[in-house]
Structure 1
Amino acid sequence: MEELYTLEREVGRGSYGVVFEGHMAKTGQRVAIKRLPCSNPECIELYLQELWAMRATAKNHVNVIALHSCLLQTGPRSLKRLKPGKLPVRLVESVLKGRVVGAPQSQEMNDVQSNSQIRTNTASRLKDRTNTVQAKAKLQDKSKSNTSDCTTPQRLPNRARKRPVETEEEQPEPLRCLALWLVMEYCDGGDLNQYLLSRPPDAQRNHSVVQQLCRAVDFLHNLGITHRDLKPDNVLVCVTPKGPVVKVADFGLSKMTEGVAGSDLTRQHFSSTCGSDFYMAPEVWGGLSYTAQADIFSLGVMFWAVLERITLLEEGTTQEQLGAYVCKGRSGWLIPLGEALWENSDLQLCIPMKFRRAPPLPPPPGPAMCTLLLDMLASSPDVRPSADQLEARVRSALKEDSH
């Protein structure tokens, strides 16, 4: 790794991987380096989805995190740069087989029960796994010309010359995939929670953030990418003299559908229940099939929280974060908007939350913006504006409210 990049310090850690601040060895450019350990098929599937989506976005939009390169770790000090447009064949094979291909025998024996469950879960997810189905086709194409990479070829019988049979110990150990390393642009402002909540409220800054997020999601949907986990934690910020530049990141739960884009994406249905509680749409909460319009609901929650500086503490955490909710009773019990709307589709949301307007909080959003927020947070996906309509509607609402 040190020949290509220098790791400086850990800057983030999640359920699936660790992010480091680093530098390119040749240029000294600061980068973020994400290490994703390839320990089980379910994690590997998420990594491949993230890699596939990030390669599609590449460096093509200022409000989407840029991927510089991807490296596959096959040994303690062995890294291989992956070619653009190619997925690691052995990792794809791990996902399809439900077990880590090339893992030591002892590890496979210890993981028999969990792998059985993984295979069951993997099979049930095939309905909406567009990325992996495409990757399987590429794997099959590659296996025709490079079968030895995946299986041991059988020797044809040779009666004229007998050779001793090789034992298992003498056969070469299959190549192991220890981790994927994603090298991305570095964002010095942290995530959206850290950036906005560490500064005094500023209406102009909030409006800029909202409009940038509109452009990012419109770009993703036009590429056929549904993010499925939009939240402040997954929006990073670059600090510039002209103001913050926000970057949508973390595509581990995303789905990419080739040949389907823009408004057509609203006809592509998914079934996996995933996302983060306070930002999930009602149809996702209810376990129904859903479309890219679930992203619009998540954006609506974020926009409302950003514009009114609404914060919450999730259970088991001490870090304040941006998010809207429904408050139940005198106990102050917080219910995610999606859950509340799933239980009662006729629930009337109170926008703005006027009782939260004590200084130094920003002024409440105007009537036009409140109407747009209610549309974005509608219990019916058909009422929500599509991503390609959203930026124009935000711009129009902010202009109307400014008069």
Structure 2
Amino acid sequence: MSQLSTCSPRVPPPSRACAEAAALSSTSGAGRPRLPAAEPRNNGSGFFKGDTTAPAGQGTASSQMIAPSPALPPPRQLHSAQIWLSDSDKRCSLPARGADARPPTSGRASPRGPGRGPRPAGIPARRVRRCPRPSAPATPHTFPQLETLTLKMVSSQPKYDLIREVGRGSYGVVYEAVIRKTSARVAVKKIRCHAPENVELALREFWALSSIKSQHPNVIHLEECILQKDGMVQKMSHGSNSSLYLQLVETSLKGEIAFDPRSAYYLWFVMDFCDGGDMNEYLLSRKPNRKTNTSFMLQLSSALAFLHKNQIIHRDLKPDNILISQSRLDTSDLEPTLKVADFGLSKVCSASGQNPEEPVSVNKCFLSTACGTDFYMAPEVWEGHYTAKADIFALGIIIWAMLERITFIDTETKKELLGSYVKQGTEIVPVGEALLENPKMELLIPVKKKSMNGRMKQLIKEMLAANPQDRPDAFELELRLVQIAFKDSSWET
């Protein structure tokens, strides 16, 4: 289960919480202030031991169930700012086309491709921003007094011990924690619900992960979600009729705070803890290895097929959001376990209105919000009309970059990132943006000779097809990668 990253890809990765560090970035490009040092603390419910902050307007809590945590190391700056915007996704509906249908031109980044030459100046890869929601709270008005009896107190004693802080940003804080009864390590992500953007990101992640009825070894697992209002807590469940939960849903839908802004609302996500960093750090701190490449491709395709089978479109697949678990390695299995994480931009496709019992196909669920990270976005995402085939395109970018070690430098964080691109003069352009401008463009795959065989070359070209209908779906992709892995005795062309 995974760990938090540093900015140097050549240093062995330190410990990282699987709870989506990309969503916790506090880079200046995010356009949001960092969280204040003091945050409301659980004042009386005692669910998490070691959370030592106090609610605004209240004194220090005197509860003996909350013990001060030891001195924490300075929080690390994380990368890849998470931006979430209003989602106007509608199933099987065509969005308006026009000059404003396409998001702003993406930022450029410094290439450092197969030749690893000089790093020209540039600006970092970023998430696409469109139609930002207002972040100011709604005008205060009279709020009904919360009935304490409606809150189910989860525990009178702390269930988790917070060991150390492993990440902090405008979206929240991630801790390494231990379950008291079992001593098992988990990642605990504390999200401050002080702005509609934070609430929407948190709820989208909760809805996606809580909708999965079974676990998959390559998808991050949500143990439980705790909703806190000031000093009261309750376990949150999907479809709950709790007034606190409904207020968060209303905030997400309206884009304005629907609860008393004088109260401190928090969501606590208890998730897998991973100890191997992210995919960028793991691969770029080691020499290329065919066995590792094969293992990673099979794991990622299996995870994506699982998500699409469960009607979840990830919408932000990239190496930063793929975490590494090494804690369960033994002599018979030397390859680490990947965990697809960060579901803050994900979309759960609903059933058909005519037949709610009929499973929906993610390849027929059309979305219209341009979101994601530009270097991994499919051309149709830039237009604002896409399906789950956009995830196939993103995975194609990742696999191509992994096999040939194609990287660029994020000049804001100075971090080397895996990602394929198209070079136009002195600039590098995201593949999806280049294909949107020229759908007939022929991609140079492979860049290096003997980096992949003919079958792999053909599959990557199909995954990166400009027309999403020409791409394989997740189930065909998984099958073909298994055939390539086990039928081909050599990676040579």
TM (norm. structure 2) is 0.62
> Which secondary structure does the structure 2 equivalent of 1:291 belong to?
coil
Structure 1 residue runs of 4+, over 6 Å off? Answer: 260-263
Partner of 2:421: 325
Alignment partner for residue 478 of structure 2, among 371, 387, 391? Answer: 391
Task: Give structure 1 stretches of 5+ with no counterpart.
Answer: 106-175, 358-362
Partner of 1:334: 428
Partner of 1:20: 175
Residue 39 of structure 1 and its aligned partner are, at CA, apart by 1.2
Report the residue type matching 1:68 in the other structure. Answer: E
CA deviations over 1:286-318 (Å, ceiling 9, x no partner): x23100000000000011111112111124221
TM (norm. structure 1) is 0.75
Q: Which of 1 and 2 has greater Rg?
A: 1
Pair 1:248 & 2:368 matched:
no
Distance 1:371 1:13, change over 3 A: farther
- Aligned positions of 1:97-112 closer than 5 A: 97-104=254-261
Distance 1:15 1:349, change over 3 A: farther
> Aligned Cα RMSD in Å?
2.0
Report the residue type matching 2:469 in the other structure. Answer: D
Distance 1:104 1:185, change over 3 A: closer
2-structure distance, mates of 1:212, 1:83: 29
Given that 1:280 and 1:298 are in contact with CA atoms closer than 8 Å, whether structure 2 keeps it comes out as yes
Pair 1:205 & 2:205 matched:
no
Partner of 2:201: 46
Residue 201 of structure 1 and its aligned partner are, at CA, apart by 1.6
Report the residue type matching 2:429 in the other structure. Answer: I
Report the residue type matching 2:202 in the other structure. Answer: Y
> Which secondary structure does the structure 1 equivalent of 2:415 belong to?
coil
- Aligned positions of 1:154-173 closer than 5 A: none
CA deviations over 1:26-79 (Å, ceiling 9, x no partner): 22210011121101123212211110111122651111001111111211x443
Pair 1:259 & 2:351 matched:
yes
Pair 1:283 & 2:370 matched:
no
CA deviations over 1:3-38 (Å, ceiling 9, x no partner): 121222232345523322111122221001112110
> Which secondary structure does the structure 1 equivalent of 2:410 belong to?
coil
Alignment partner for residue 271 of structure 2, among 184, 189, 195? Answer: 184
Partner of 1:219: 306
Given that 1:262 and 1:388 are in contact with CA atoms closer than 8 Å, whether structure 2 keeps it comes out as no
Given that 2:171 and 2:192 are in contact with CA atoms closer than 8 Å, whether structure 1 keeps it comes out as yes
- Aligned positions of 1:28-67 closer than 5 A: 28-57=183-212, 60-67=215-222
CA deviations over 1:251-304 (Å, ceiling 9, x no partner): 11111013379882111100000000110001112x231000000000000111
- Aligned positions of 1:362-377 closer than 5 A: 364-377=451-464
Distance 1:15 1:205, change over 3 A: farther
Partner of 1:345: 439
1-structure distance, mates of 2:324, 2:259: 39
Report the residue type matching 1:247 in the other structure. Answer: K
Alignment partner for residue 468 of structure 2, among 381, 389, 398? Answer: 381
Report the residue type matching 1:52 in the other structure. Answer: W
Pair 1:90 & 2:90 matched:
no
Report the residue type matching 1:278 in the other structure. Answer: F
2-structure distance, mates of 1:211, 1:262: 26
Distance 1:262 1:64, change over 3 A: farther
CA deviations over 1:348-402 (Å, ceiling 9, x no partner): 1111112xx7xxxxx5011110100000000000000001111111122334543
Distance 1:50 1:177, change over 3 A: farther
Distance 1:4 1:325, change over 3 A: same
1-structure distance, mates of 2:167, 2:434: 32
2-structure distance, mates of 1:94, 1:238: 35
> Which secondary structure does the structure 2 equivalent of 1:379 belong to?
coil
Given that 1:372 and 1:397 are in contact with CA atoms closer than 8 Å, whether structure 2 keeps it comes out as no
CA deviations over 1:158-180 (Å, ceiling 9, x no partner): xxxxxxxxxxxxxxxxxx45211
1-structure distance, mates of 2:234, 2:439: 51
Given that 2:322 and 2:340 are in contact with CA atoms closer than 8 Å, whether structure 1 keeps it comes out as yes
2-structure distance, mates of 1:327, 1:56: 40
Partner of 1:268: 365
Given that 2:351 and 2:360 are in contact with CA atoms closer than 8 Å, whether structure 1 keeps it comes out as no
Partner of 1:304: 400
Residue 328 of structure 1 and its aligned partner are, at CA, apart by 2.0
Alignment partner for residue 224 of structure 2, among 54, 60, 69? Answer: 69
Alignment partner for residue 80 of structure 1, among 216, 223, 234? Answer: 234
Quote the sequence identity (%): 46
Report the residue type matching 1:398 in the other structure. Answer: A
Distance 1:232 1:349, change over 3 A: same
Alignment partner for residue 318 of structure 2, among 228, 231, 240? Answer: 231
Given that 1:59 and 1:65 are in contact with CA atoms closer than 8 Å, whether structure 2 keeps it comes out as no
2-structure distance, mates of 1:352, 1:79: 54
1-structure distance, mates of 2:343, 2:318: 12
Deviates more, 1:58-67 or 1:268-277: 58-67
- Which structure is richer in relative contact order (CA contacts within 8 A, separation 6 or more)? 2
Given that 1:17 and 1:37 are in contact with CA atoms closer than 8 Å, whether structure 2 keeps it comes out as yes
Given that 1:226 and 1:292 are in contact with CA atoms closer than 8 Å, whether structure 2 keeps it comes out as yes
1-structure distance, mates of 2:212, 2:340: 11
Report the residue type matching 1:270 in the other structure. Answer: L
Distance 1:288 1:82, change over 3 A: closer
> Which secondary structure does the structure 2 equivalent of 1:52 belong to?
helix
> Which secondary structure does the structure 1 equivalent of 2:470 belong to?
coil
Distance 1:49 1:204, change over 3 A: same
Given that 2:204 and 2:346 are in contact with CA atoms closer than 8 Å, whether structure 1 keeps it comes out as yes
Given that 2:311 and 2:360 are in contact with CA atoms closer than 8 Å, whether structure 1 keeps it comes out as no
Task: Give structure 2 stretches of 5+ with no counterpart.
Answer: 1-47, 50-157, 353-357
